[in-house]
Structure 1
């Protein structure tokens, strides 16, 4: 089975929209996005623009949908889709649960709410080498020591965890994690404290907005963020998208479920490669391909060959 996986905020790089494949479906998607958002979408990947949560999240959504459409035009339609954080939105478009037009508008609203809630002073940090339980214990000790709280935001792999919180609290916590045996602890290019209770109010506002948007039952398998499980109804996918900013993203659970359900080839949408690396490390029998590293013609040929031989 073919799965499309879509990266979240932090995967963005300068000029990533300009490096999308030169394919008619990509050009049409860029034009559609520009029309929906009322801007030239290709202005969203400059160094200045990428300081904006709105620009980053909208740009990642466009890149994901553009790649999915180009693959579909080449005869590669996924049996399952999943995305990390904002990547869940192009995943929902990919499986037919949400239109691209509505996804763009909902992502823009999502990013505006997140940015307004915490315009500065907050962010995310990745910690490698410690388990979720170990980091939860360290976070509790951190709070007991009188530090502002930090939260487990993403469980990307058993020992690859993203923490959320205020900048000073994260910096202090990273030192604590390294002292406790973390292999690596680094800040991410994200300026909001995603996937924790700090965004509860913003999540409630987005949930109210989402009730005005039409969702459909998915035409292929959609794997949710919060539970890392397949979701089969329009309401379940609406809730997953509207609330994932508030809850820990269970990416490794989602990846495991896809593998158990028969995923044999996984293609990661531009500009990401981290999800590909995680898949290769933990599920080497899955052919994981990062679209940003291969020309579209080679990507499609490789995917077809792997699907035929597995």
Structure 2
């Protein structure tokens, strides 16, 4: 059986997360490379103050994901599948060697700057648990019709775990609406932009132009995209996915299901995430899902090798 690496998106970050990466030569080299490419010490990007910036968060998550993938590869653990949620897709593209790390950093920085500039304040994301996508869409229509403001389905992380985007006032009102309709929880995420909806259409168009000259290659192994939850086999397709994913709904559960059905049985989530691990454990309990952030690195390597050996 095969290994899949999962890379979390914005909202997974916490203060100091880059400082908690494994003490490994591949991690140190990745941090040094990122600092040289960006002209800034990336270890300054994970303070509580720095993480108020979408740019710092997205760069930091990309660095953490690539660092973990490289450390695992150094230990002989290379994935058959690479998939990332939202900005996590950039680390996934580096993991499968479709995109050079330096180019990923430049593209992520541009992406985050475009998102931050498009909606500098007053917008964000909320996670709703306990209602289906169809129920959420029905409530969104009612909310708009009754003057509550526009809300958009941003992520379908699981059948009853939906993330919505919009202005703060619209999200606050929508939280009350979904809770009254039977949702278990409606919680704002640590994201300050309205990701994965048409509000970012112009920003996505600008990123498409920026990415036009960035070289992409066919992936080694399988890259699973955000928008359709399906494998992509060409560099051009992966470029388009990365450049446009900010404006389209992330269908993470579809991506996870595709990997399961294709034979992935061991999933490792890159730091600093746990959410993707929890989703896999809840919906596919026969799979082995491990959050790297919660396990000492040598133990992580041993667990993954043992699980892969048992599954083969």
Given the two structures, how large is their TM-score scaled by the length of structure 1?
1.00
1:182 aligns with 2:180: no
Give structure 2 stretches of 5+ with no counterpart.
Answer: none
Residue in 2 that maps onto 1:21: 22
3-state SS of 1:130 partner:
coil
Cα RMSD (Å): 0.4
- CA distance, structure 1, for counterparts of residue 115 and residue 159 of structure 2: 27
- CA distance, structure 2, for counterparts of residue 133 and residue 264 of structure 1: 29
- CA distance, structure 1, for counterparts of residue 148 and residue 235 of structure 2: 41
1:113 aligns with 2:109: no
Residue in 1 that maps onto 2:247: 246
Residue in 2 that maps onto 1:278: 279
- For residues 153-183 of structure 1, give each alpha carbon's deviation from its aligned partner in whole angstroms, at most 9, with x where no partner exists: 0000000000000000000000000000000
- Equivalences for 1:136-147 in 2 at 5 Å? 136-147=137-148
- CA distance, structure 2, for counterparts of residue 147 and residue 131 of structure 1: 20
- Equivalences for 1:139-178 in 2 at 5 Å? 139-178=140-179
Residue in 2 that maps onto 1:290: 291
- CA distance, structure 2, for counterparts of residue 250 and residue 240 of structure 1: 12
- CA distance, structure 2, for counterparts of residue 230 and residue 283 of structure 1: 19
Shift of 1:148: 1.5
Given the two structures, how large is their TM-score scaled by the length of structure 2?
0.99
- For residues 194-237 of structure 1, give each alpha carbon's deviation from its aligned partner in whole angstroms, at most 9, with x where no partner exists: 00000000000000111010000101100000000000011110
3-state SS of 1:284 partner:
coil
Residue in 2 that maps onto 1:126: 127
3-state SS of 1:173 partner:
helix
Q: Provide runs of 4+ in structure 1 moved above 3 Å.
A: none
Shift of 1:147: 2.1
Residue in 1 that maps onto 2:44: 43
- Equivalences for 1:186-225 in 2 at 5 Å? 186-225=187-226
Give structure 1 stretches of 5+ with no counterpart.
Answer: none
Residue in 1 that maps onto 2:62: 61
